[in-house]
A and B are shown apart, each in its own frame.
Chain A
Amino acid sequence: VEMVLLYVVTAKKGKLPDDFSSDAHSIHAKPLYPASLPCQFVSNGPAQNPMQVPSGYGLHHQNYIAPSGHYSQGPGKMTSLPLDAQRDDYYSGLYTVPTQNVVPPSTAHQQPGAQQLYGRGPPAPHVGGSTPGSFQGAASSASHLHTSASQPHSSFVNHYNSPAMYSANSSVASQGFPSTCGHYAMSTVSNAAYPSVSYPSLPAGDPYGQVFTSQNAPAVRPVTDRSFSGPNTAISHPSPLPPPPSQQQHQQQSLSGYNTLSWSAVGLPSTQDSLLRNHTGSLATANNNPANTVADSLSCPVIQNVLPLKSSPVAPTVLSAASSARMPPPASHPVEPVASVTQPSELPQQKGMQYGDYVNNQASSAPTPLSSTSDDEEEEEEDEEAGVDSSSTTSSASPMPNSYDALEGGSYPDMLSSSASSPAPDPAPESDPAPAPTPASTAAQPSKLPKPFGYGYPTLQPGYQNAAAPLGASVQPGSPAYSGFQQYPQQYPGMSQLSSSLGGLSLQSAPQPESLRPVNLTQERNILPGTPVWAPVPNLNLELKKLNCSPDSFRCTLTNIPQTQALLNKAKLPLGLLLHPFRDLTQLPVITSNTIVRCRSCRTYINPFVSFIDQRRWKCNLCYRVNDVPEEFMYNPLTRSYGEPHKRPEVQNSTVEFIASSDYMLRPPQPAVYLFVLDVSHNAVEAGYLTILCQSLLENLDKLPGDSRTRIGFMTFDSTIHFYNLQEGLSQPQMLIVSDIDDVFLPTPDSLLVNLYESKELIKDLLSALPHMFTNTRETHSALGPALQAAFKLMSPTGGRVSVFQTQLPSLGAGLLQSREDPNQRSSTKVVQHLGPATDFYKKLALDCSGQQTAVDLFLLSSQYSDLASLACMSKYSAGCIYYYPSFHYTHNPSQAEKLQKDLKRYLTRKIGFEAVMRIRCTKGLSMHTFHGNFFVRSTDLLSLANINPDAGFAVQLSIEESLTDTSLVCFQTALLYTSSKGERRIRVHTLCLPVVSSLADVYAGVDVQAAICLLANMAVDRSVSSSLSDARDALVNAVVDSLSAYGSTVSSLQHSALVAPSSLKLFPLYVLALLKQKAFRTGTSTRLDDRVYAMCQIKSQPLVHLMKMIHPNLYRIDRLTDEGAVHVNDRVVPQPPLQKLSAEKLTREGAFLMDCGSVFYIWIGKGCDNNFIEDVLGYPNFASIPQKMTHLPELDTLSSERARSFITWLRDSRPLSPVLHVVKDESPAKTEFFQHLIEDRTEAAFSYYEFLLHVQQQICK
């Protein structure tokens, strides 16, 4: 095929048409894809999952939508249901699972099973790569489904399953439970994996029957209480669990059998929705006829093999799962119940356990049947655990929890963020249950069964109402508020146990919270804990803790907000928020409703922390205005009950997504539009990125997020600008050349952006030809500015995403740049100049783009200085993202080429939101004054985001303008309004609730050191650009000096000569030192200006989890991996080596070490490394034969190789980008890269950690 060239006459400097024609010829001659092209993508396995997820979301949505329409009517149907049922229903819908836990002992076992199922379900997606991305989306819903399914159990199922009626109940739809669909999907998946297992959880049906009994046994769960310390509860649980299992199992099995049956019937995902509904409906019915349901469950002998497994043993496994929460793929748990049992001691797992217990407790406390209480959420994480303990209380409690988890943190499975999320949720759940149960409950291990559901109802209400006074608020009579620092349960396992055993009632008003334990920094040699650092859990009552937003999405630097600005100033700590609002979530409640309930004065979305004054009025928690509850809100679609607005999903989840109505649109939702602007100058052709890009695009063309309206276009440029006419109907792509770069115009505006599906063949032709079209070019100039102007013109009617690939300094037309870097100044310790942009051209362009809802993403692949500081502006202010590949060359620098491939794969397929705005609101008295991230601040609290992607993080600095003395809680809410790639307008809302404290000690106790460091890093970047780098460095050091001296002089009673920090701040100096040695801020070490600027860009735009790895990498020793403490993920055993401190003293020549820097892995092989390891893992006979450049571990069939690979895979799965692996030999030149990350060591230009401490101490004493 020949390309038709239209020579656009504008040519002032135009080339001759002949040239073009020759190009065309060359194209013909060449094969579309040179054999030489690497098939890089194969390796991406892990990355794909994340990618798919987002897409899955989109799909779900669609599915959901349809149902929602049907269901919106739900309320009317509701009326038919008996009131009693409604309550139950409600719970069951949302929380059914937990309540069900209450079910009689026998059933109890079942629940565990169910939980396991859940666990599996969510993880399943991970495991089965094949499973559609949709799973994630579904996951949350899936859990719901489970629960519902379980409840309905046999009886319901029987009665109502088949009839669409229940589904009609619509409650589901209206609630936005579309997610439920997902649940189903999940469940189905799990079934496949573990057919028998999955459904046992369902026993929920039993729950009802149990409910009766359960109420009796209220005391049962006490053990769980105080779950603060996850571990404690865990301990208690194990004992109780074992006994009941057999009986319960049997019963449950029968029940489960039932469930399974129903499930299987459901089978299909599409049907899932309907099924879900059915289930819910069934649940409701079940509630009505508890006795019947029970009977049914019993009657259903069906399978349930699974159940037994899940029974007591399961519970422990669950726990492990919970622990695994950090890890994305905890799914495996169900499989390995036994193993998990052994390890129950582990905190996270235990927590999970606790949850379950606690659920039961709740149930017990409240005799009411449904019990599905909100508590479930937390449980969800642990899922399985809860199931175990609680046995089958009401409906399948477990499902609900899953969904919640997903909702909240998404911590579970998919969570890229991995670690942070899990911890927080766990503690909360545990604690909640505990109080109610009291000690007696512990004794009642069997009693776990009781866990009646009733609890949920009452408790919830109080919680809400009390929102203002969180501590005391705890609804349940027995449960006292948690004073003190329960938050830190993990640290204080012992404490928690005690407290829990005492009867969750009394809190651990413990003496001194772990976070306040003074640490003498200069004497503490091993300051770095052996396990990853979790986010502290805000010191709220259990109820609120469970509801609170996952720390993965939303973190505050101080989890105890000081009452006044004066107090904050005294503490010398930064106050701010770190956001990751568009994170990939596995479970997210999606709500479709005609009216989105918001405060009438401040427009806050209704959230779990508002208080209901009575049935018809609620009080905004941000501005304290009293609002009416709209009629529609009185109906709960989940349970199809009426009159319980506090049980609506909006009020039960701190992370929800609304499908927005046309009120939220300024124009019809835009289609997904992608434009690629490619540099094809000589330099670019030399670097060879085109082949990689085109290959990647060809492979992912079908996975680009979008719907049938998706449009795509291409532009290339050197000294002229080339457009490609891909209009449907042409026989081949047409190239249109515009050489008038001073006054750019669009040659054929209508046919340059074409429908992806209508013109797919032409697009493929073009992508195949593109890499070879310019091979002989001699054009060295780059007219980037005019190309961007043209791109803007092309995109402005619709908006969308522009991806710019640039390989050199722009040298022609508007926006041309001069080289500003003086190579001799690279290692200067004095002034680093030119960190800011050289021209406002790119900034203006970005603002224009932002105004037209167009984001510009920059891929800079250069071998020389390209003035990233100026170029980055185009992405910074248009909410784009920036990728930088220094010294890129497709053959000479294979690791960069591999990185580009992997990044592109993620980039092209990840979820995307268009024409987005994000508004952050906070309680009256607080105000936001500075924002960090890539966006344009359109008005005081409104961030304009032309595009939003799941990898974007934001930070906000706060100040306290009015004293907060009249409130005990503050809340923050971010609302992200965006258009999904499917053309839906959606609002994702996160709400975070934090306590207010009045003493300095409490402020220090609540410091989230990682969040504080990330915020400081953002502030330091601003300071570097607006002032100077040395100012920023001084400010960082001063931050440590000031906060530690403030602590020493006010809180600490120890002698002043020592450098003392509260335990919560003990890593602060280490992290600040790490920042000072970061590429962005280091001095004295040769650093290229672009590298430095890129590091700054990353600091500004990365979410916390990724940023922390960049600042302070994790080091593990991997030549002696053992199964001790290993976790099980998807049937794989993943060893958990302890973290090593970043110092050469930890490196032994006999060892091999893995360093996880977030976007890159290094494996350092010592000279004296055991030959067995080298042979077993690397596949070479000895050290000398290891090649210099090695980027993959061979798949060898040895134990140590398997362990190493499963560990690395596990690390990779926890993040969106698949990092590149470098094997670094001790003697290779590459080792300097490895060693520069050893931040505790001294370098010629910087302090060692100990020296830094001495320096800080010296400064304090001044």
Chain B
Amino acid sequence: MEALVFVFSLFDCCALIFLSVYFIITLSDLECDYINARSCCSKLNKWVIPELIGHTIVTVLMLLSLHWFIFLLNLPVATWNIYRYIMVPSGNMGVFDPTEIHNRGQLKSHMKEAMIKLGFHLLCFFMYLYSMILALIND
């Protein structure tokens, strides 16, 4: 059972890693002027909710399976995702707003955020992998 939890988490984490990489690539495309802000933001906004859901599921799963340490590790990132989504002003077109992404260094902060998430997910990936193997061995 525990192994199943981690197998699922592992796949979920892989997806999140790919998503982070996708965010980084798209944002750097925007930085380099390969795509325009409008299409960049519509691309990214599409994946904000999947990312949020994917991460929340893992977090909740860890809580349910009583892996406190991993749950607490995930909690801040999950909270940040939800907070960010909720706090989008009513007039904005999503977390990434094409009219503001070039202002006040927003592009850089988005980029930084995606990088941090990538690192975090990589860390989680190996943690899940280790936990999964441990769980399989224990079984």
Contact = CB atoms under 8 A, between A and B. Distances in A.
Check if A and B associate.
yes
Interface of A: 836-840, 843-844, 847, 851, 869-870, 873, 877, 929-931, 936-940, 942, 1022, 1026
Interface in B59-102: 89-93, 98-99, 101-102
A936 B104 CA distance: 15
A847 B38 contact: yes
Contact of A847 (B33, B92, B99, B107): B99
Contacts of B92: 840, 843
Contact of B99 (A936, A940, A942): A936
A837 B36 contact: no
A840 B104 contact: no
Contact of A873 (B31, B91, B98, B102): B91
Contacts of B101: 937
B90 A930 contact: no
Nearest to A936: B99
B103 interface: yes
A939 B89 CA distance: 22
Q: Please provide the 5 A-B residue pairs with the shortest distance between their CB atoms, ordered closest to farther.
A: A837-B91, A937-B102, A939-B33, A930-B103, A840-B93
A59 B41 CA distance: 42
Nearest to B91: A837
B39 to A, nearest CB: 10
A406 to B, nearest CB: 34
A391 to B, nearest CB: 54
Given A837-B90, A851-B38, A940-B31, 4 more contacts: A836-B90, A936-B37, A939-B102, A940-B102
Most buried by B among A839, A938, A1026: A938
B112 to A, nearest CB: 15
A837 B37 CA distance: 20
Nearest to B41: A847
Nearest to A870: B91
B103 A937 contact: yes
Nearest to B30: A939
Contact of A937 (B31, B37, B91, B105): B37
B91 A847 contact: no
Contact of A936 (B30, B89, B98, B107): B98
B104 A929 contact: yes
Given A838-B90, A838-B91, A847-B98, A929 B103 contact: yes
Contacts of A939: 30, 33, 36-37, 102
A1022 B104 contact: yes
23 contacts: A836-B89, A836-B90, A836-B91, A837-B90, A838-B90, A838-B91, A843-B91, A847-B38, A869-B91, A877-B99, A929-B103, A929-B105, A930-B102, A930-B104, A936-B99, A938-B36, A939-B36, A939-B37, A940-B31, A940-B33, A940-B102, A942-B33, A1022-B103
Most buried by A among B37, B101, B102, B104: B102
Contacts of A851: 38
Contacts of A940: 31, 33, 102, 107
Nearest to A876: B99
B102 A931 contact: yes
Contacts of A873: 91
Interface string B38-57: 10000000000000000000
Contacts of B104: 929-930, 1022
Contacts of A844: 93
Contacts of A931: 102-103
Nearest to B103: A930
A893 B91 CA distance: 33
Nearest to A840: B93
Contacts of A836: 89-91
Nearest to A850: B38
B4 to A, nearest CB: 41
B91 A839 contact: yes
A919 to B, nearest CB: 11
Contacts of B99: 843, 847, 877, 936-937
Contacts of B102: 930-931, 937, 939-940
Contacts of B98: 847, 936
Contacts of B90: 836-840
Nearest to B104: A930
A931 B30 CA distance: 17
Most buried by A among B33, B90, B91, B92: B91
A973 B3 CA distance: 62
A930 B93 CA distance: 19
A837 B89 CA distance: 8
Given A929-B103, A931-B103, A940-B102, A840 B91 contact: yes
A975 to B, nearest CB: 16
Most buried by B among A839, A940, A1022: A940
Contacts of B33: 939-940, 942
Contacts of B103: 929-931, 937, 1022
Interface in B82-139: 89-93, 98-99, 101-105, 107
Nearest to A943: B102
B90 to A, nearest CB: 6
Contacts of B89: 836-837, 1026
A843 B93 contact: yes
B105 to A, nearest CB: 5
Nearest to B101: A937
A851 B33 CA distance: 16
Contact of B37 (A838, A839, A843, A938): A938
Contacts of A942: 33
Contacts of A837: 89-91
A844 B98 CA distance: 10
Contacts of A847: 38, 98-99
A1022 B99 CA distance: 13
Most buried by A among B99, B103, B107: B99
Contacts of A938: 36-38
A847 B101 CA distance: 14
A930 B92 CA distance: 17
Contacts of B38: 847, 851, 936, 938
Contacts of A877: 99
Nearest to A932: B103
A145 to B, nearest CB: 43
Contacts of A929: 103-105
Contacts of B30: 939
Nearest to A1023: B104
B94 to A, nearest CB: 8
Contacts of B93: 840, 843-844
A690 B92 CA distance: 34
A930 B108 CA distance: 12
Nearest to A944: B36
A1026 B98 CA distance: 15
A940 B33 CA distance: 7
B18 to A, nearest CB: 26
Contacts of B36: 938-939
A836 B31 CA distance: 27
Contacts of B107: 940
A52 B2 CA distance: 80
A847 B38 CA distance: 8
B66 to A, nearest CB: 41
Most buried by B among A839, A931, A937: A937
Most buried by B among A836, A851, A929, A1026: A929
B87 to A, nearest CB: 11
A929 B108 CA distance: 10
A577 to B, nearest CB: 15
B33 to A, nearest CB: 4
A869 B30 CA distance: 28
A1024 to B, nearest CB: 13
A836 B103 CA distance: 16
A936 B39 CA distance: 13
A844 B94 CA distance: 11
Contacts of B37: 936-939
Most buried by B among A840, A843, A851, A942: A840
Nearest to A877: B99
